Amino acid sequence: MKKKRLDRRIQRTHNLLKGALMSLVPEKGYDAITVQDILDRADVGRSTFYLHFGDKDALLRGGLADLHEELRERQREMDVAALGPEERLISFSGFLYQHAYEHRDVFWALGKHGGAMVRHSFHEMLVDIINERGRDLFRKRSSAGVPSELFVHFLASSFLSVMEWWLEQKKPVPPETINGMFRSFVMPSISAQL
């Protein structure tokens, strides 16, 4: 399903507001940021902000939705048919670790220091991604054993935990290395569950 394109002016306003929020996160931490801080940084009026977003949480969710869409686009570009079912389930991890590395100041601030709402929203995005990739796999597997919903939450939580630990390191290993570590943790579990 194609995403409806926004008017360029609306898209520009959204980008300004999301960019302002992301630039403020490393400076102040998500919870300390006010809508006024975002308005000042983006040079956008209050009424314009509320025309597009109900609050800063809605703005953040919009940014996560953009990231989710970018992941979907990457997935379409990737030859997922060439991947095995286990690989397909976590094919998002390499891109996300690379993205987090390139924007580590923001991801670090949004991670452990970003508040429960941020972590919950990111976790839910991962759950959606894993469910999208595993829908057919989960239908085929037997209902005995670990429920699919629990397994999906395990994978999402594992990814987030590894990312948080990684971003806390003074000298984080390259994204490819941490992705390999993450995969070495979860691939045996995936193989056992599918």
Domain 56-193 in CATH 1.10.357? The answer is yes
Q: Where do the domains of the chain lie?
A: 56-193
Q: Closest by alpha carbon to 161, among 115, 111, 127, 114?
A: 111
CB 164 within 8 A of CB 112: yes
Q: Cα–Cα distance between 50 and 54 in angstroms, integer?
A: 6
Per DSSP, helices labelled H in 2-54 are 8-28, 35-42, 46-52
Q: What is the pLDDT along the chain (194 residues), one digit of tens a residue?
A: 445 566 888 889 998 998 898 888 878 888 888 999 999 999 999 999 999 999 988 998 888 788 778 877 777 676 565 567 778 888 889 888 998 898 877 777 666 656 677 778 888 889 988 888 887 777 776 556 778 899 999 999 999 999 989 988 889 899 999 999 999 999 998 888 87
